[in-house]
A and B are shown apart, each in its own frame.
Chain A
């Protein structure tokens, strides 16, 4: 079936280092969303990318959608302890008229002060 995979599964970085998580879909996606889940919390929407090759920035976060619309990345510059959490990508999978959002496996980020 259609799958959305993320790598790495875990990442530990020193505060101030950069971090990147990669999302790969087995099928082309019409759009991709990114969410952040803080420890003990629920997923919170970060951004949606729609266009092939699209790049969006939110302060220290840079999101990219691949040209083939099958992969995406989230890059955090100069991580801070507030960046701790699990980052998920999500994409709509299904057939015309019947789509549902499937989440990637997630990347858990730990930032060491």
Chain B
């Protein structure tokens, strides 16, 4: 597709279960971001991948959160032992280049996670 694709669009899970959220960025985009947005709140930075560099994981809220990006393309955000406070929309964004002047970030539609 032409845009950033995220799946699943909706995920309901029970507390304590693990979840995986997937992001397929725009082809050729080297930079990929994950953000978290709780209801009515702003965008909380989670993790940033830029090319082959080590990812910036400084925004991950706990060691239950991890992410990888395979082959410089698709990324998976994994949340282990989910808690109710993990409920939010997880947004993925990609841009053509990274660094201090990355140009436009293109966002996916997000994955809405509900932890019961």
Q: Which residues of A contact B (CB under 8 A)?
A: 30-31, 33, 35, 42-45, 48, 50, 88, 90, 92, 94, 97-106, 108
Contact = CB atoms under 8 A, between A and B. Distances in A.
A42 B99 CA distance: 23
Q: Using C-beta atoms within 8 Å of the partner chain, give the interface range for chain B.
A: 20 to 34
Interface string B76-116: 00000000000000010100001111111111111000000
Interface stretch (B11-19, B40-48, B65-73): B40-48
A35 B93 CA distance: 13
Interface of B: 33, 35, 40-43, 45, 48, 53, 56, 58, 91, 93, 98-110
B31 to A, nearest CB: 9
A90 to B, nearest CB: 7
5 contacts: A90-B105, A92-B100, A92-B101, A103-B35, A103-B42
A100 B101 contact: no
Given A31-B101, A92-B100, A105-B42, A100 B33 contact: yes
Contacts of A31: 100-101
